[in-house]
Structure 1
Amino acid sequence: MSRPVQPVEDFTTTCMIMGFVNLLWVFVLVFLLWGFPAVIVLAVIMNAGIDRLRSHLNSQA
């Protein structure tokens, strides 16, 4: 028995919010363990990785 294909919900907003929540608790944990300079270093490393991923994805398009 075949059923028609139905569209699914868009979970983009939910995914972005949960990503922010996870990033926030990781930054808080790093801050509590090693202090503010470690959070800044982690943020710079993550920013460089995101920029590299963005340039890689743009070059493929």
Structure 2
Amino acid sequence: MFGLFKKKSEIDQLRDQYKKLQKESFDLSKSNRSAADKKLAEAEEVFKKIEALKEKEN
């Protein structure tokens, strides 16, 4: 209950964005392969940002 108004960390926000891009890529892969590949590339860029932030924390 006390965490109700707590803001998400930057890593959590990026994870949500990554999951969203992965889902969009999967949905597009059924109809438009080139658009799906672009979404997947965007998702990989977000993943690299997540990894960089994890390294920075350690």
- TM-score with structure 1 setting the length: 0.49
- Report % sequence identity: 6
Larger radius of gyration: 1
Which protein has greater RCO, CA pairs closer than 8 Å, 6+ apart? Answer: 2
Corresponding residue pairs, total: 36
Deviation at residue 46 of structure 1 after TM alignment = 0.4
User: Quick check: 1:46 aligned with 2:43?
Assistant: yes
Structure 1 residues 3-51: Cα deviation after superposition (integer angstroms, max 9, x where no partner): xxxxxxxxxxxxxxxxxxxx57x51x21234x01111101100000000
- TM-score with structure 2 setting the length: 0.52
CA distance in 1, matches of 2:47, 2:29: 21
What is the aligned partner in structure 1 of residue 16 from structure 2? none
